[in-house]
Chain A
Amino acid sequence: MNLPVAIIIIISFVVVAGALTLAGFVWAVRTKQFSIKQLNEGAKLIFDDEEPIGTPQDMIFQKPSNGSANHR
């Protein structure tokens, strides 16, 4: 197989793959796979009531104010 044939094959691959990807993307948008809600809220998935947004975790190096490890 020489170079021109190889290039034709590669370009066909890319075109087909690209078309399939585009089709998948269009399908996803049409059938509302990606809701605006998910895009806006998705980042909040890792938080919950016990570890809400705004509460930092893992403050091991935090110096307690009265020298005890128990509370600030």
Chain B
Amino acid sequence: MAAQTTAKEQFVSFASEAVEDVSERQHRVHIDDSVTSPVVLYFATGIAWLVLGSLAGLGAAVKFNLPDWLGGTPFLTFGRIRPVHLNAVMYGWASLAGAGMVVWLTGRLCRVPIQKTWALYVSAILWNIGVLFGVVALLFGYNQGMEWLEFPRPAGGLIALGFLFFAYSIIETFRKRQVEHLYVSMWYILASMLWFPILYVVANLGIYDGVTEAAMNWWFAHNALAVWFTPVGLAGAYYFIPKVIGRPIYSYYLGLLGFWAFALFYNWNGIHHLVGGPLPTWLVTVSIVASVMMFVPVMAVAVNHHLTTIGHFRMLKYSPTLRFVVFGSMSYTAVSFQGSIESLRSFSEVAHFTHYTIGHAHLGVYGFLSMILFGAIYYIMPRIAKWEWPYPKLIKLHFWMSAIGIALYVIAMCTGGWIQGTMMNDPSLPFIASVNATKPYLWARSVGGTMMLIGHLAFAYQFILIIYRSGPTRYVPAWFELRQASGSEESKPV
């Protein structure tokens, strides 16, 4: 009892005292304090879009199983809630949660409080309004007609503007950095600050038509992964894996090589979405070559992440962040290898136009990116909310629902999709046979999607608890707990 009171007193005094000392921890806490509100805003709105997007996704999935379900209302037709799902989870959840993680990482990696935080608030507000406007427009049937670019121009404009304010804050913080050299995560973050606004604006100019517009469409969609979503995920993995384990990344030099190979090759992948299509052969071939060349940067990342983790798998038992992030980094290796193979003409002949593509896409944006974002949020929130996650059991529920859910999803979609493609390419079979063959797999997909939704609800509930500092009172924040446990002299609060 006495020990607990002491810990409580320590915690209360620690959480409330002003930061004046220049010790490392104080400095880091001061940086964390500077980002608290914007990061919580990004995370909270991102998680709201996660729940909404998951509901839309599940709805779309069930409509494959029960096509007449809620079939009388235009707002809920598959053709509208499917783009709602994609845009809500990509421009809503993944982008906003990613931005929150990027803000926090920038403070830590540049060792300086975040600059121009007002710009982050403006960014979050514009961005969310843009996504909301776009989603509502989609439900009413306003659709620009291109995948990943469905949002009407005003919504896209708000998102682009929101991103620019966000990038401004990050770059200003970078300029005021207190470090001699930049860690590898920061390279990915800085590159994406420059890349994404250009990409998004150019894609929304609307100056092309015909098949050139198709080339532009898929240059954009794959580059959105290349210049924003993947860098965010890799920046997180490069930081959290070594940080949580407590060991440096395996080979910094490989990280450097991997970054530039990534920048060089990934930008040329886009046309692999149009293999067999009405475009010049050389154009498609260039993208297939670039897609296969991605083995180089992906191997560099894989060596770094996996060889850092090897020998420390025991820590997965104790660290929620590590579970999510290692799952994510393994998914990155898997989905990238899969993508390189998928782009080959012989493979694409079967898999293109099928659910296989959908399985691959979800392994990437969920198995890789979203799992890393979950891990990042589990790490960051206690440090800025100054409150521990109240229910570790809910974290475990979230992890297992997400992990099993996405495994089920990807296996079902890739298997079903391959069968679908094989049957589609067999002219002795009527087309409907390829549809019927996928039905059991589509049910499995809905089960997987339901599990993921349950995990997200557990996550969202606990997120609300932590920002309101509810739940069982834990007087010992995560890092504080371990430092006390280590028994060193530094365990006394300053």
Q: Are B481 and A53 in contact (CB under 8 A)?
A: no
Residues of chain A within 8 A (CB-CB) of B315 are 56, 59
Q: Are B317 and A61 in contact (CB under 8 A)?
A: yes
* Closest chain B CB from A49 CB (angstroms): 5
Q: Which of A40, A42, A71 contacts B481 (CB 8 A)?
A: A71
CA distance A53 to B356 in the complex (A): 42
* Closest chain B CB from A65 CB (angstroms): 10
Q: Given the known A-B contacts A43-B248, A51-B479, are A71 and B319 also in contact in the complex, defined by CB atoms under 8 Å?
A: no
Q: Are B244 and A45 in contact (CB under 8 A)?
A: no
Interface residues of B in 361-394 (CB under 8 A from A): 378-379, 388-389, 392
Interface residues of B in 431-469 (CB under 8 A from A): none
Q: Which of B179, B280, B476, B482 contacts A57 (CB 8 A)?
A: B482
CA distance A50 to B244 in the complex (A): 14
Q: Are A60 and B478 in contact (CB under 8 A)?
A: yes
Q: Are B7 and A70 in contact (CB under 8 A)?
A: yes
Q: Which residue of A lies closest to B6 (CB)?
A: A70
Contact string against B for A residues 30-72, beta-carbon threshold 8 Å, 1 for contact and 0 otherwise: 0000100011101111111111111111111110000011111
Q: Which of A38, A45, A59, A68 contacts B478 (CB 8 A)?
A: A59
B116 at the A interface (CB under 8 A)? no
Q: Are B244 and A57 in contact (CB under 8 A)?
A: yes
Q: Are B253 and A58 in contact (CB under 8 A)?
A: no
* Closest chain A CB from B245 CB (angstroms): 6
Residues of chain A within 8 A (CB-CB) of B255 are 42-43
Q: Are B280 and A3 in contact (CB under 8 A)?
A: yes
Q: Are A39 and B3 in contact (CB under 8 A)?
A: no
Interface residues of B in 233-252 (CB under 8 A from A): 239, 242-252
CA distance A40 to B319 in the complex (A): 27
Q: Are B3 and A69 in contact (CB under 8 A)?
A: no
Q: Are A56 and B246 in contact (CB under 8 A)?
A: yes
A7 at the B interface (CB under 8 A)? yes
Q: Which residue of B lies closest to A36 (CB)?
A: B253
Q: Are A60 and B248 in contact (CB under 8 A)?
A: no
CA distance A62 to B319 in the complex (A): 8
Q: Which residue of A lies closest to B179 (CB)?
A: A45
CA distance A47 to B179 in the complex (A): 12
* Closest chain B CB from A63 CB (angstroms): 9
Q: Are A50 and B23 in contact (CB under 8 A)?
A: yes
Residues of chain A within 8 A (CB-CB) of B485 are 59, 62, 71-72
CA distance A50 to B479 in the complex (A): 10
Q: Given the known A-B contacts A45-B181, A46-B242, are A58 and B3 also in contact in the complex, defined by CB atoms under 8 Å?
A: no
Residues of chain A within 8 A (CB-CB) of B250 are 43
Q: Which residue of B lies closest to A45 (CB)?
A: B183
Q: Which of A6, A7, A38, A55 contacts B181 (CB 8 A)?
A: A38
Q: Are B244 and A58 in contact (CB under 8 A)?
A: yes
Q: Which of B23, B243, B251, B395 contacts A60 (CB 8 A)?
A: B395
* Closest chain A CB from B254 CB (angstroms): 10
Q: Are A69 and B474 in contact (CB under 8 A)?
A: yes
Q: Which of B246, B378, B396 contacts A55 (CB 8 A)?
A: B246
* Closest chain A CB from B383 CB (angstroms): 10
CA distance A47 to B25 in the complex (A): 11
Residues of chain B within 8 A (CB-CB) of A49 are 24
Q: Are A61 and B318 in contact (CB under 8 A)?
A: yes
Q: Which of A7, A54, A61, A71 contacts B3 (CB 8 A)?
A: A71
Residues of chain A within 8 A (CB-CB) of B247 are 53-54
Q: Are B318 and A62 in contact (CB under 8 A)?
A: yes
Residues of chain A within 8 A (CB-CB) of B108 are 46
CA distance A55 to B219 in the complex (A): 43
B36 at the A interface (CB under 8 A)? no
* Closest chain B CB from A19 CB (angstroms): 14
Q: Given the known A-B contacts A45-B181, A50-B490, A72-B485, are A58 and B321 also in contact in the complex, defined by CB atoms under 8 Å?
A: yes
Residues of chain A within 8 A (CB-CB) of B73 are none
Residues of chain A within 8 A (CB-CB) of B244 are 56-58
Q: Which of A39, A43, A53, A59 contacts B482 (CB 8 A)?
A: A59
CA distance A43 to B303 in the complex (A): 14
Q: Are B318 and A50 in contact (CB under 8 A)?
A: no
Interface residues of B in 264-295 (CB under 8 A from A): 280, 282, 286
* Closest chain A CB from B72 CB (angstroms): 47
B143 at the A interface (CB under 8 A)? no
Contact string against A for B residues 204-240, beta-carbon threshold 8 Å, 1 for contact and 0 otherwise: 0000000000000000000000000000000000010
A-B contacts, 8 of them at CB < 8 A, read: A40-B252, A46-B239, A51-B243, A53-B248, A57-B246, A57-B321, A60-B378, A61-B392
